[in-house]
Amino acid sequence: MKEKLQEIFSNHHGTRDALIPVLQDIQGEFGYLPPEAMDAAARFCRMSPVEVYGVATFYAQFKFDPVGRNIIMVCQGTACHVMGGARILEEVASQLQVAPGQTTKDGRFTLETVACIGACALAPAMFVNKDTHGRMKPEKVAEILNGAGN
Amino acid sequence: MDDKLTLTINGISVRGKKGQTVLEVCRENGIKVPTLCFHPKMPPYGGCRLCIVEIQNMRGLPPSCTTPATDGMNISTHTDRLFRVRRTVLELLLAYGNHNCLMCEKNGECELQNLVYEHGIDSVRFKTTFAPKPVDDSSSMIVRDPNKCVLCGRCVRGCLSVQVNGVIDIAARGSDSFITTFNGGLLNDSNCAFCGECVASCPTGALTPKQSHFKGRPWELKKVQTTCTYCGVGCQLELNVKDNEVVKVTTDPDLGGPNKGSLCVKGRFGNDFINHPDRLKVPLVKKNGSLQESTWDEALKIVADKMGSIKKKSGPDSLAFFSSARTTNEENYLVSKFARAVIGTNNVDHCARL
Amino acid sequence: MTNSIEELENSDVILLTGSNTREMHPVISSFIKRGVVSGKTKLIIADPRRIDLVDFADIWLRQKPGSDVAWLNGLMHVIIKEGLYAKKYVEERTEDFDALKKAVSTYTPERVEEISGIPAADLIAAARLYAGAPAAAIAYAMGITQHINGTDAVKSVANLSMLCGNIGIESGGVNPLRGQNNVQGACDMGALPNVLTAYQSVTVPEVREKFAKYWGVKSLPEKPGLTIVETIDAAAKGQIKSLFIVGENPMISDPDLHHVEEGLRKLDFLVVQDIFLTETAKLADVVLPAACFAEKEGTFSNTERRVQRVRKAVEPPGEAKADWEIISEIASRMGYKMKYANAEAIFDEMAKITPSYAGMSYARLENGGLQWPCPTADHAGTKYLHKEKFVRGKGKFHAIEWIPPAEPTDSKYPLVLITGRVLSQYHTGTMTRRSEGLNGLAPECFVEINPIDAQKLGVANGEFVKISSRRGSISAKAVVGETTDVGMVFIPFHYFEAAANNLTIAALDPQAKIPEYKVCAVKVEKVA
Amino acid sequence: MEPAIRIQPGKERQVLVCRGTGCESQKAKVIFDNLEKELDKAGLSGSVETKYTGCHGFCQQGPTIMVMPAGTFYCNVTPDDVAEIVETDLKGGKPVERLLFLDPKTKDRVLTFRDMRYFNPQRRIVLRNCGFINPEDIDDYIAVGGYEGAKKALSMTQQQVIDNMKASGLRGRGGAGFPTGMKWEFANRSVADQKYIICNADEGDPGAFMDRAVLEGDPHSVLEGLIIGGYAIGATKSYIYVRAEYPMAYERTLIAIDQAKKKGYLGKNIFGSGHDFEIKVKLGAGAFVCGEETALIASIEGKRGMPMPRPPFPAVKGVFGKPTNINNVETLANIPVVMTKGGEWFASTGTEKSKGTKVFALAGKITYSGLVEVPMGTPLREIIEEVGGGILNKRKFKAAQTGGPSGGCIPAEHFDVPMDYENLTQLGAIMGSGGLIVTDETTCMVDMAKFFLTFTQKESCGKCVPCRLGTKKMLEILTDVTKGKATLEDLDQLVTLAEDVKNGSLCGLGQTAPNPVLSTVRYFRDEYEAHILKKECPARVCVRLIKFQVNPDKCKKCGQCASACPADAITWKKKEVAQIDSEKCIKCRSCILACRYNSID
């Protein structure tokens, strides 16, 4: 981990305003923010670790536990809500047996919600990693989940 | 340069100085604006929404603690509109916390309690749906009760901005926000230096000194200002006394002195040695090879006689005195005077070098 | 301190050395940290240990213990060579610059690197940073003074500060941080073998005459007395027969404790006046119970020369009495009448014969105290010293050469021991070890070892080890980490059951008679 | 307004493949690759240029392809269709009829985008280049007049640029509608060694995506806006704060900055004017409140995105304590045009107090959802019925929700309201960033209010008490309403609390969070009362209040419900009323959504 962190830090200037980009890079590398990495980021940005924790927990993007191999995001934006996004979320949650924010026991999926990704015209929408699935219907969920990587 | 301002507050013309906030001008002119997240030692926060005022030609209800005073401002501090918001704020805080004053250490010196009283609140109109959170009782010095926390952020600013210790911050956001240590652990497992700045700045019973629990209600305590007995900084503090026992240490930036209301762990939580049962209470005299309880008369007689005879026999320079860097100036002066004028030796030193 | 604590928050540069401020003077460290965090202050730390404050430092110089004079001279070498010093100030307000220039000329960054281990580039960067600041403060503590050349190091610090025009200005200065509540006051009051109050020397006949007359005695002794460590030596040799100890605990605080015990046991008569039965009191012939700070009136003088009130909050336990009452009674019994109505009467008597306190009275100390010198009743006290001119006239540069520590490491004792303190304990622990909370935070002795040394010794974190020097040995828990460098260990001295001063050497600074607590040679062994 | 189309010299035609997020998610990349292959096979590579573009707004019918200069518009294209388009159209010169847009009203196929009712009423200034140029090619932008506005501005005095901006009447498109020229003037007058201009691309309103489309489709217009604004106020440093949820917008912005630097449009001495200007991109991290200016500043500084009370305003004390001006993406995209064509020209469009155009993100129960740009003052009816093709499934229009979580709704009785700042504010629905969510009779307005409040409650930063706890309490009351557990006293308390939160909150988020509640109570109090008094949800949305029984009086016996039921809980035989088995029913509401006759209670 030390080398990877060093590599991340080498792309940034060690001041406080670099914190969020640094954390984004750390999450990009590890999938979440390990405590040791937050501690190292604090030293790098010259802040106290608890401030890093305070900042990280403020933003919805950051995760504090390892994530699954596939990230499922179900949009809960206005357009999706009006078009039945909640129903899609329910379906995914019940098929994966996890609540939003959680990861399946086998580590294959992490379920998340997003407050609009701007694909309103495709509402309701869900995303598997970087793939968008628009005009979702509950009955399409199983097929999409099966199609995701192991 | 003229830095005087003239403002109107509640219809009365008052003076202020450039660089002051509206709140500072109000306070200087004896106008009491309620506050909760404001603390004079700390950078303003503007979060509690109690010190809001109405200012002519300004939108909304700006907080007086962050709004710079400007010449000609026309301010109202106690309108119905303001009162209504303040009351709602207080009722919301009461609805989402455990604020049972009977069972609270802070009863009698709680800012929330005072504000609720001042606003004439005798019941909370909102249904309470509050779910209690666990109390952090891990440390032997500070008890953290999140259920009494109003998230004013004073402890955090005390820790991050005043002491710059970086132990606590606000985590998460919105109604999920809470005061946290790094990674959400217990205070005792954190890098806390236990300076107690957070305890001193907490307006409610969310942060209290553990050793003082059940040792005395605020109104029963006599506060005596003195100088800390530990390192050379000379912090000013108040010993809180009940029944001839020091039960708590408090501070106030107004006490003067170099520390401006701050202390470290020793000054704030290290004075229980005063009441320690091992304290020497009577003179001891060595008899048959062991120290035995004695009387002042006997002990002082032995000291005077023995030193007198050694001086007579071996000369004044066969006697020596160690004074103390922990006793007062007056006492050091007397030891020096004693060695030199009474015994006639310069053999006097203290542990300055150790 | 030449300057005031609050000024540190506004210094452009602070050079902090030999002070673990965050643990020893936490409240002062907050002023420093606030300055750094606000962006106003750049912090240079010179310390062999990676103390917490290093996180706030712009430059950290990790010198080998005992090399302070060398790196300080090195800084001055760079500053003079690069022409960065305050030329006008040096010309107008100081003397003997040429001697300094000559002395530091051989301390090139390369040579300093050899002596101190500080990389030449870091030294140069620190020199430029310090010299470039409009107002730079130097703060230091026992890490600078507790060496056989401690006085030299202090003079070097003063040299550096003067060289850059930092003495006599706001937020600058030379600032020793006093470790105990009233060290400053005890010194001011003349509890020293060579001076009376306000540093009036016992060797000056007029001074002695003045005091003799004021105190109503024929004459006062003119030969300077013995310091603490010298007294112990003299006791061991049978020259000192009676020792009266007020609130000190040499059985923990003094170097080479076996030697201390030997000296104390040899005395004909030992009196200890204290609040607890300390390790020293246990050896006494008479123990007198004293009141603690909360049980009496008086004043303390803090590290920034601020004289502040101590007030009685509670009654002393049992029959315990204030130290001043006890001393007065003994004096009276010995035929010298000392009768004071209260502590204030003593203060007033003292102030009259102490120029720097002359303007003070309890009434004037009410709101925040006064900083000496305060010569007259209408004087506001002095925030920082040497404004416009030095007390002695011109500031004198001293040409100082570096000398190595008294006890070098060797194959038998390969590690350097540094002793010091921890946040929640205080000095010999008399009070703090009896405070539940404080003692709970650091209940036992430990030895900090670098991971590389620990691996060599086969020692894991938390294991007990035996530490020995030529003078004795103790055992303590190993704390393996990066705080100490390779080849160095650190032990706090508060713990009687594992007293670090069993190991330390009683080698003294020839001028200040300070023992070299900060360097001695030890070995560490795994406890089987 | 149609942009000048630049076709590569030597080529005759150009095929534009939309690769906005909508089309991209439906294999637009494969379509593009197939197109190049097929053209090569057909030997047309020499005469036909291919180009991919950002979103042109008609996401509903994506993926789309346009053949220029004819303007032939193909909808719902699949990778397999490409061969036919090349064969029939590009080689054969005839349109592929089956892929042309089918006008639902006339049932005619429409040949070009110019003839489509979706595009026709639109007037594109902000989106002028979106869908027509390659967003990753600065030369494409320059070819359509890009960076001319910046050059012109840099040849003028700062005051002249500000005056021109004031003359345009352009108001901030981020929501509050503050005049941009005045904002610049304030920042210009602040004296400091460093000033900043920030592009707020933290489009957090769930339901609005015009900023994303602009950054994805025409990023250089935003850079140019920043250059002009930076010059006007005297800022040499700039940030673009982009939502983390917009990876494509982020990438394309970075590419654009890189290209502009290489051209000397960014960096030292830009355009040889002596003025320096640099732009950095900051990625947000998922916090709606960071759209608020002071929170955005805190976030850029690496802090928790908590707003600070104003004054001091960012124009005096902003990022790193320096004077800072913040404009939103849509505002900035207007600015190059305001410079090249002049403030007066810009002011000729729109209404008296609301100048220019507004982009709306049309979504919800509407036939064509997507981005539409219309002159300020265009009636709501025209936007919904003409551009949007009317309500989905021929249901009845109930209300349009504008301004997202800060906004309110426009009920059917105000269907003809001209859409500008003043009118919307008067109706209790704000312009906001331009989200326009259309609802019909199957939308429950209590649920709608609850949806927005859930959002704001979750996104509240927690700093001030009214927002942190007031919205929580309001949400609890609303939840009680949707469960049939509330009383009329609770409703009164909801309204008074809403007023207190509005008055008492620190920043715009809290001050506007009660709007959806206040607005729905204002226009749809009867729905609230139905929930409270009759324990009924008229729109059949609040599950706890639905019986899941077929109303035989309304049932048209069509069986749609039975085929929609995923749980096999509905039995239906031809010409019989359907029956729902409550044991099997999972209350998913599929039947309710399927039933055109609102016959399930």
- Which residue segments constitute the domains of chain C, with CATH numbers given? 5-177 (3.40.228.10), 183-371 (3.40.50.740), 415-526 (2.40.40.20)
CB contact under 8 A, B169 and A47: no
Contacts of D33 (CB under 8 A, 6+ apart): none
Quick one: which H or E segment has residue D570? strand D570-571
Quick one: which H or E segment has residue D178? none
Least CA distance to A73: which residue of chain D? D245
C180-194, D300-314, D555-569 — which is least confidently predicted?
Answer: D555-569
Question: Which residue of B48, B61, B127 is in closest CB contact with D465?
Answer: B48
What is the Cα–Cα distance from D321 to B119, expressed in whole angstroms?
A: 37
What percent of chain C clears pLDDT 90, i.e. is strictly above it?
84
Instruction: Please tell me the predicted confidence (pLDDT) of residue B354.
Output: 64
Minimal Cα–Cα distance from A92 to chain C, Å?
A: 47
Is the pLDDT at A119 greater than 80? The verdict is no
Q: Which of C36, C37, C53, C60 to mutate to test the interface with A (most CBs of A within 10 A)?
A: C37
Is the pLDDT at D1 greater than 70? The verdict is no
Q: How confident is the model at residue B337 (pLDDT cuts 50, 70, 90)?
A: very high
Question: Which residues in A lie closer than 8 A to residue B160 (C-beta atoms)?
Answer: 48, 51
Q: How confident is the model at residue C50 (pLDDT cuts 50, 70, 90)?
A: very high
CB contact under 8 A, B169 and A58: no
Q: How confident is the model at residue C291 (pLDDT cuts 50, 70, 90)?
A: very high
Q: Which of D18, D23, D25, D540 to mutate to test the interface with A (most CBs of A within 10 A)?
A: D25
Per-residue pLDDT tens over the stretch C137-160: 999 999 898 888 888 999 999 999
User: Which chain A residues in 34-53 lie under 8 Å from chain D, judged by CB atoms?
Assistant: 45, 47
Cβ density class B142-151: b for 16+ within 10 Å, e for less? bbbbbbbbbb
Instruction: Please tell me the predicted confidence (pLDDT) of residue A104.
Output: 92
What is the Cα–Cα distance from B343 to B320, expressed in whole angstroms?
A: 9
Instruction: Please tell me the predicted confidence (pLDDT) of residue D141.
Output: 94
Per-residue pLDDT tens over the stretch A21-60: 999 999 999 999 999 999 999 999 999 999 999 999 999 9
Per-residue pLDDT tens over the stretch D343-364: 999 999 999 999 999 999 988 8
Q: Residue count of chain B, please give it.
A: 354
Write the Ramachandran bin of D27: left for phi over 0, alpha for psi from -120 to 50, otherwise beta.
left
Pick from D234, D232, D225, D236: which is nearest to D163 by CA? Answer: D232
Is the pLDDT at A87 greater than 90? The verdict is no
Question: Which residue of A38, A39, A54 is in closest CB contact with B170?
Answer: A54
Least CA distance to B141: which residue of chain C? C437
B20-34, B260-274, D103-117 — which is least confidently predicted?
Answer: D103-117
Is the pLDDT at A118 greater than 70? The verdict is no
HSE, side-chain direction, 13 A CA sphere, residue D453: 30
User: Which chain D residues in 155-194 lie under 8 Å from chain A, judged by CB atoms?
Assistant: none
Average pLDDT over residues A112-129: 80
What is the Cα–Cα distance from D385 to A144, expressed in whole angstroms?
A: 35
* Residues of B contacting chain D (CB within 8 angstroms): 45-49, 52, 60-63, 66-68, 81, 84-85, 88-89, 92-93, 95-96, 125-127, 129, 150-151, 153, 170, 172-177
Average pLDDT over residues B82-96: 97
Q: How confident is the model at residue D59 (pLDDT cuts 50, 70, 90)?
A: confident
* Residue C55 near chain A (CB below 8 Å): yes
Cα angle D3, D4, D10 (rounded to 5 degrees) comes to 140
Is the pLDDT at B308 greater than 60? The verdict is yes
Instruction: Please tell me the predicted confidence (pLDDT) of residue D399.
Output: 95
**Token pair belonging to C528:** 């089987």
Instruction: Please tell me the predicted confidence (pLDDT) of residue D3.
Output: 63
Question: Which residues in A lie closer than 8 A to residue B168 (C-beta atoms)?
Answer: 50
What is the Cα–Cα distance from D96 to D72, expressed in whole angstroms?
A: 9
Average pLDDT over residues D431-447: 91
Question: Which residues in B lie closer than 8 A to residue D469 (C-beta atoms)?
Answer: 92-93, 95-96, 175
Q: How confident is the model at residue D2 (pLDDT cuts 50, 70, 90)?
A: low
Q: Which of D304, D313, D463 to mutate to test the interface with B (most CBs of B within 10 A)?
A: D463
Instruction: Please tell me the predicted confidence (pLDDT) of residue D69.
Output: 87
Average pLDDT over residues D210-219: 93
Q: What is the CATH number of domain B4-78?
A: 3.10.20.740
Pick from C146, C152, C212, C176: which is nearest to C506 by CA? Answer: C146
Least CA distance to A45: which residue of chain C? C55
CB contact under 8 A, D364 and A78: yes
Instruction: Please tell me the predicted confidence (pLDDT) of residue D277.
Output: 97
Q: Which of C32, C146, C431 to mutate to test the interface with B (most CBs of B within 10 A)?
A: C431
Cα–Cα separations (whole angstroms), residue B219 to B108, B109, B216, B238, C295: 7, 9, 8, 15, 22
Instruction: Please tell me the predicted confidence (pLDDT) of residue D407.
Output: 92
Q: How confident is the model at residue C527 (pLDDT cuts 50, 70, 90)?
A: confident
Average pLDDT over residues C357-372: 94
Q: Which of B161, B242, B312, B329 to mutate to test the interface with C (most CBs of C within 10 A)?
A: B329
With H, G, I as helix, E, B as strand and everything else as coil, classify residue C197: helix
- Which residue segments constitute the domains of chain A, with CATH numbers given? 2-58 (1.10.10.1590), 70-146 (3.40.30.10)
Is the pLDDT at C464 greater than 80? The verdict is yes
Q: How confident is the model at residue C256 (pLDDT cuts 50, 70, 90)?
A: confident
Per-residue pLDDT tens over the stretch B205-254: 999 999 999 999 999 999 999 999 999 999 999 999 999 999 999 999 89
Average pLDDT over residues D439-463: 94
Q: How many CB atoms lie within 10 A of CB D177?
A: 20
**What is the 3-state composition of chain B as percent helix, strand, coil, each rounded to the nearest 5?**
35, 20, 50
Neighbours of chain B (3+ CB pairs under 8 A): A, C, D
User: Which chain C residues in 202-261 lie under 8 Å from chain B, judged by CB atoms?
Assistant: 202, 211-212, 215-217, 220-221, 223-228, 231, 234-235, 239-248, 250, 253-254
Average pLDDT over residues A100-119: 85
- Which residue segments constitute the domains of chain D, with CATH numbers given? 13-115 (3.40.30.10), 138-346 (3.40.50.11540), 357-440 (3.10.20.600), 445-533 (1.20.1440.230), 547-601 (3.30.70.20)
Q: How confident is the model at residue A114 (pLDDT cuts 50, 70, 90)?
A: confident
Instruction: Please tell me the predicted confidence (pLDDT) of residue B165.
Output: 95
* Cross-strand bridge partners of residue D171: D179
Q: Is the dihedral of CA D208, D211, D216, D217 positive or negative?
A: positive
Q: What is the DSSP string of C321-332?
A: B-HHHHHHHHHH
Instruction: Please tell me the predicted confidence (pLDDT) of residue C427.
Output: 87
Q: How confident is the model at residue D107 (pLDDT cuts 50, 70, 90)?
A: confident
Minimal Cα–Cα distance from B270 to chain C, Å?
A: 6
Q: Which residue has the tokens 């339901």?
A: D207
Question: Which residues in B lie closer than 8 A to residue D497 (C-beta atoms)?
Answer: 88
* Residue C482 near chain A (CB below 8 Å): no
Neighbours of chain C (3+ CB pairs under 8 A): A, B
Q: ipTM of this predicted complex?
A: 0.92
Contact (Cβ atoms closer than 8 angstroms) between residue A48 and residue A69: no
Question: Which residues in A lie closer than 8 A to residue D566 (C-beta atoms)?
Answer: 138-139
Q: Which residue has the tokens 């400053």?
A: C184
Q: Is the dihedral of CA C431, C434, C439, C440 positive or negative?
A: negative
Mean residue pLDDT across chain C: 93
Q: Where in chain B is the domain with CATH 3.10.20.740?
A: 4-78
Question: Which residue of B160, B173, B183 is in closest CB contact with A53?
Answer: B183
Minimal Cα–Cα distance from A63 to chain C, Å?
A: 27
Is the pLDDT at A83 greater than 90? The verdict is no
Write the Ramachandran bin of B144: left for phi over 0, alpha for psi from -120 to 50, otherwise beta.
beta
Average pLDDT over residues C311-337: 96
C54-58, C92-96, D20-24, D397-401 — which is least confidently predicted?
Answer: D20-24
Question: Which residues in B lie closer than 8 A to residue D308 (C-beta atoms)?
Answer: 46, 66
What percent of chain B clears pLDDT 90, i.e. is strictly above it?
95
Per-residue pLDDT tens over the stretch C258-271: 889 999 999 999 99
